[in-house]
């Protein structure tokens, strides 16, 4: 009897007792509940800002390792996850679609789930996973064979598993799901294979579809198992049948603006990359814009209807995508705004009410494909810097080669920026690089790459590629810049203690002064950092975690740049640091 009582007591302590698990209120208040991190982005607005100030510019030098956790085995590659922390347990995802539950006090493993991936998966840009979602008693994450899985948070047992799309057609899934009002909201990956981007919402308890919203015009959405409305207007901005394989993958996941009850997703590059097949002319009338690829979309969470759209790169032909995260914030005047830093090199501020254009400024140097933005935020194209039409070439095999900046890996790629409520600035991990790019003939084949382009990436400067920039969203002014030799590919976090955290491919985990960009603390993690930091408090002490493990798209697609970083070692270690109470007051 005594043993039974002890066992039950231990079980209740581990699972948090008779709690209902993570609630919608927990998720909505994630930023202010500093003992937890239950959303990707440290809040569904994706600000990645913590109000904790125990750790600050004066004492960050006293930050020390608390524990380290190895992901183990040979399944390394890029580790891009953001940890979640709830009720004494940390949850992370790993490459090759794995999930770990870890005791947050000791770093001991509680359970591990390893998805059984089939042969023939087609991830374009490494076998990464960017994190999980938590709701009720479940952990939700996506897999490389385009499935969404719900696991019991205490045991790791499968609760349900659902198919997002057909991996044999090039679909996959790498983003962290999002929870909104009891719905699990996901996108899809696979834009290089002629798939069709979509946003889907499922009942969190059962996994059953509630609504689907394709993001390429001409495709039909669904609601409660029935057809709902068509996305856009058939053939309004796409020629012929090209919309059927139009791309627009929603591969980075979304944000949620509670102020307007709007889910905001980015839609990626149109397919194929060869823009001449989708639009021969300048299309300033909008007829060749290829909606809603390379766009941000405001979506009604109750039914999946599109409320508004803003297209960053019409008739996109450089793989500048359009999927980068949209952060909901208030500016210094108290106005409700959205901000996004696009792969095309421009930083945009939008009106939160309707997605209307407020301002746009370059956040990288040497943008060559556009001379600027007009009053509506539409790019002013430099036509001679569009990759040439293969059909105009003498042999019909290769269009004119042009140099474009930024490269197709973007002024900023997937790695999330952060907003500081303390300074009112954004902190953007960017890269200064360009590319030689040309177009080639291409036809669609299921499960085959659908590019119609070739490229070679080159650094723009000898002394750096990576550049962490502090940007004032009210003016577009770059307040400071931290230069890094290798490309930056990891996320950023800000705190009320005046700190900006990020990592480098060289393995350094850094804390910088949010006002000046001065490096105040550095720790060598042993492998390149392409993950996302978080912070929380426990028993009166502030903790910070980051995953280390080099990989991602740069070593696979980086051309000359990849050669520059090919010495970097793979890894797979979750590092957790803390500021001991005894050192919190030490300056």
Confidence at residue 73, expressed as pLDDT on a 0 to 100 scale: 74
- C-alpha R_g of the chain: 23
Confidence at residue 559, expressed as pLDDT on a 0 to 100 scale: 80
| 76: nearest Cα among 117, 127, 112 | 127
The pLDDT-based confidence of 396 (bands split at 50, 70, 90) is: confident
Distance CA 548, CA 71 (A): 10
Residues 6+ apart with CB under 8 A from 251: 173, 174, 175, 187, 188, 189, 190, 191, 197, 268, 323
Statement: residue 586 has pLDDT above 80:
no
Confidence at residue 284, expressed as pLDDT on a 0 to 100 scale: 67
CATH fourth-level superfamily of 2-584? Quinoprotein alcohol dehydrogenase-like superfamily (2.140.10.10)
The pLDDT-based confidence of 310 (bands split at 50, 70, 90) is: very high
The pLDDT-based confidence of 404 (bands split at 50, 70, 90) is: very high
> Model confidence over 199-248: pLDDT tens digits?
999 999 999 999 999 999 999 999 999 999 999 999 999 999 999 999 99
Q: Residue 375 CB: number of other CB atoms within 10 A?
A: 6
CA 543 to chain centre: 23
* Mean pLDDT, residues 521-534: 97
In the chain, domain spans:
2-584
* Mean pLDDT, residues 560-574: 86
Q: Number of C-alpha atoms within 13 angstroms, CB side, residue 19?
A: 19
Determine what percent of the chain is predicted with pLDDT higher than 90: 88
Confidence at residue 14, expressed as pLDDT on a 0 to 100 scale: 40
The pLDDT-based confidence of 168 (bands split at 50, 70, 90) is: very high
Confidence at residue 2, expressed as pLDDT on a 0 to 100 scale: 35
Confidence at residue 3, expressed as pLDDT on a 0 to 100 scale: 31
Residues 6+ apart with CB under 8 A from 342: 312, 313, 320, 321, 322, 324, 348, 410, 411, 412
Q: Residue 332 CB: number of other CB atoms within 10 A?
A: 10
Q: Is 321 a catalytic residue?
A: no
The pLDDT-based confidence of 555 (bands split at 50, 70, 90) is: confident
> Model confidence over 479-516: pLDDT tens digits?
999 999 999 999 999 999 999 999 999 999 999 999 99
Say which residue, 396 or 1, is predicted with more confidence: 396
Confidence at residue 6, expressed as pLDDT on a 0 to 100 scale: 33
Confidence at residue 183, expressed as pLDDT on a 0 to 100 scale: 98
What is the DSSP track for 529-567? --S--EEEEETTEEEEEEEE---SSHHHH-THHHHHTTT
> Model confidence over 132-157: pLDDT tens digits?
999 999 999 999 999 999 999 999 99
* Mean pLDDT, residues 83-95: 97
* Mean pLDDT, residues 414-427: 98
Confidence at residue 401, expressed as pLDDT on a 0 to 100 scale: 96
Confidence at residue 526, expressed as pLDDT on a 0 to 100 scale: 95
| 455: nearest Cα among 370, 322, 553, 323 | 553
Mean pLDDT, all residues of the chain: 94
Confidence at residue 19, expressed as pLDDT on a 0 to 100 scale: 46
Residues 6+ apart with CB under 8 A from 519: 482, 510, 511, 512
Confidence at residue 76, expressed as pLDDT on a 0 to 100 scale: 80
Q: Classify 582 as helix, strand or coil.
A: helix
Catalytic residue among 319, 321, 342, 514: 319
Distance CA 585, CA 198 (A): 50
Determine what percent of the chain is predicted with pLDDT higher than 70: 96
């Amino acid at each position: 009897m005594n043993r039974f009582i002890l066992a039950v007591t231990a079980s209740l302590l581990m699972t948090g007792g008779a709690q209902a698990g993570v609630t919608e209120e927990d998720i909505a208040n994630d930023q202010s509940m500093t003992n937890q991190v239950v959303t990707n982005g440290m809040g569904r607005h994706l600000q990645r800002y913590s109000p904790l100030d125990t750790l600050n510019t004066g004492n960050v030098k006293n930050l020390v390792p608390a524990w380290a956790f190895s992901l183990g085995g040979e399944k390394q590659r890029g580790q891009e996850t953001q940890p979640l922390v709830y009720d004494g347990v940390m949850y992370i995802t790993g490459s090759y679609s794995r999930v770990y539950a870890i005791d947050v006090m000791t770093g001991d493993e509680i359970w591990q789930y390893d998805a059984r991936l089939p042969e023939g998966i087609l991830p374009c840009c490494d076998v990464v996973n960017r994190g999980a979602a938590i709701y009720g008693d479940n952990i939700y994450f996506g897999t490389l064979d385009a499935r969404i899985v719900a696991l019991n948070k205490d045991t790791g047992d499968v609760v349900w598993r659902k198919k997002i799309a057909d991996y044999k057609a090039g679909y996959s899934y790498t983003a962290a799901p999002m929870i909104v009002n009891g719905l699990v909201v996901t996108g899809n990956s696979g834009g290089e294979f002629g798939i069709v981007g979509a946003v889907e919402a499922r009942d969190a308890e059962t996994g059953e579809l509630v609504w689907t919203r394709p993001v390429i015009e001409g495709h039909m959405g669904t609601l409660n198992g029935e057809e709902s409305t068509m996305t856009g207007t058939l053939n309004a901005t796409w020629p012929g049948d090209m919309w059927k394989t139009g791309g627009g993958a929603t591969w980075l996941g979304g944000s949620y603006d509670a102020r307007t009850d709007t889910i905001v997703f980015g839609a990626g590059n149109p397919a194929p990359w060869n823009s001449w097949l989708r639009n021969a002319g300048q299309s300033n009338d909008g007829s060749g814009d290829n909606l809603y690829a390379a766009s941000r979309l405001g979506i009604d969470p109750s039914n999946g209807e599109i409320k508004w759209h803003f297209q960053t790169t019409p008739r996109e032909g450089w793989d500048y995508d359009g999927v980068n995260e949209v952060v909901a914030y208030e500016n210094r005047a108290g106005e409700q705004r959205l901000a996004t830093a696009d792969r095309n090199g421009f930083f945009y501020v939008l009106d939160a009410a309707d997605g209307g254009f407020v301002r746009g400024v370059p956040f990288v140097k040497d943008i060559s494909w556009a001379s600027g933005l007009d009053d509506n935020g539409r790019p002013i194209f430099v036509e001679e810097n569009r990759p040439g039409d293969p059909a105009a070439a003498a042999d019909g095999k290769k269009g004119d080669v042009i140099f474009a900046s930024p490269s197709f890996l973007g002024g900023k790629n997937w790695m999330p920026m952060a907003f500081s409520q303390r300074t009112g600035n954004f902190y953007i991990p960017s890269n200064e690089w360009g590319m030689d790019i040309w177009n080639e003939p291409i036809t669609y084949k299921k499960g085959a790459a659908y590019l119609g382009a070739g490229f070679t990436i080159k650094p723009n400067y000898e002394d750096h590629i990576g550049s962490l920039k502090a940007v004032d969203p009210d003016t577009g002014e770059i307040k400071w810049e931290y230069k890094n030799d290798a490309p930056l590919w990891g996320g950023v976090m800000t705190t009320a203690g005046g700190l900006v955290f990020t990592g480098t491919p060289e393995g350094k985990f850094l804390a910088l002064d949010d006002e000046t960009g001065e490096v105040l603390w550095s720790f060598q993690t042993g492998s390149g950092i392409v993950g996302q930091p978080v912070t929380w408090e426990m028993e009166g002490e502030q903790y910070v975690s980051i995953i280390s493990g080099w990989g991602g798209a740069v070593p696979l697609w980086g051309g000359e740049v990849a050669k520059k970083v090919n010495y970097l070692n793979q890894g797979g270690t979750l590092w957790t640091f803390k500021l001991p109470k005894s050192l919190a007051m030490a300056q």
